[in-house]
Chains A and B, each alone.
Chain A
Amino acid sequence: MTDPTLLHLTADETELWALGLLPATRDAHLAQCAECRRVAERERKLIRELAQLTRFAPEFGFVERVMAKVKIPTPSGPHFRPHTNS
């Protein structure tokens, strides 16, 4: 059986490493393989960049605009409850 420290990382394993989830047995391969380390570092950089993307917000009052159009269920059946500012 092949020594796991000799096998190059798969794409799945590279992602696991970038997320800090790679098992130690496979982690050991990175210490000795410059090519896998280079690929993994690039992957981690990209994944971090994606994770830090802005969470955009809709225009102010979005919740109220949605609630004004939603049917609120009641024991006697659903009805529209128009939004009020009170």
Chain B
Amino acid sequence: MAWAKQGHEAAFRELVRRYERPIFSLLYRMVHDRALAEDLAQETFIKVLNAIGTYNPQFKFSSWIFKIANNAAIDHLRKRELETLSLDGSPHATTPDEMSATAPQLGDRGETPLQELEARELGGAIEHAIARLRPEYRTCILLRHVEGHSYEEIARILDLPLGTVKTYIHRARNELRGYLEDRRE
């Protein structure tokens, strides 16, 4: 980090290499679109590296970069009114028919190689279950159990009270178990 703060190009590259998969994975699971996730990941790294001089080493670097990535995803989802890309369909849908009509059909599309890849990567039971979570639950569960952040770090990343983070994670795990058991029965 010290080398990166001094502007060493090799250190910049190393940071991107080290975090490209975790950051891209989080964004991909948030937006369910490879190309969009890559754009948001690029935006995240460019923001981080261009502002590296302002980085406060009192906080973990990973907390800082995940905070910027999460904000990028949330801003995008709000701007485009995609919100959750929930498998239950549009958040504005009020009837089962509307929900069904607006729900993304993972695994059933296959029109392009990229869509086929996305369906393959995100088509498993656990990925489907994660995709059904509210975005705030999804971020929390991914940061906790995929990235291994502590509750305190997640609270800092998401600017949420610690108690809220704990509640979100417990609820998310309950929902995931429910979705997975429904599919397996």
Specify whether A and B are partners.
yes
Interface residues on B, range: 35 or more
Q: A43-B173, A49-B126, A69-B42 are in contact. Are A63 and B7 (CB under 8 A)?
A: no
The listed residue (A53, A62, A65) touching B126 by CB distance below 8 A is: A53
By DSSP majority rule, is chain B's interface helix, strand, loop, or mixed? helix
> Does A55 contact B126, Cβ atoms closer than 8 Å?
no
Q: CA A42 – CA B45 in complex, angstroms?
A: 37
Is B41 interfacial (CB-CB < 8 Å)? yes
Can you list, as one digit per residue, whether each of A36-79 has a CB less than 8 Å from chain B (1) or not (0)? 00000011001101110111111100110111011111100010
> Does A81 contact B16, Cβ atoms closer than 8 Å?
no
Collect the chain A residues with CB atoms within 8 Å of residue B24's CB. Answer: 56-58, 62
> Does A57 contact B17, Cβ atoms closer than 8 Å?
no
The listed residue (B7, B41, B42, B126) touching A50 by CB distance below 8 A is: B126
The listed residue (B12, B121, B173) touching A72 by CB distance below 8 A is: B12
**Chain B interface residues toward A at CB < 8 A:** 6-7, 9, 12-13, 16-17, 20-22, 24-25, 28, 34, 37-38, 41-42, 45-46, 49-50, 53, 121, 126-127, 141, 145-146, 148, 166, 170, 173, 176-177, 180
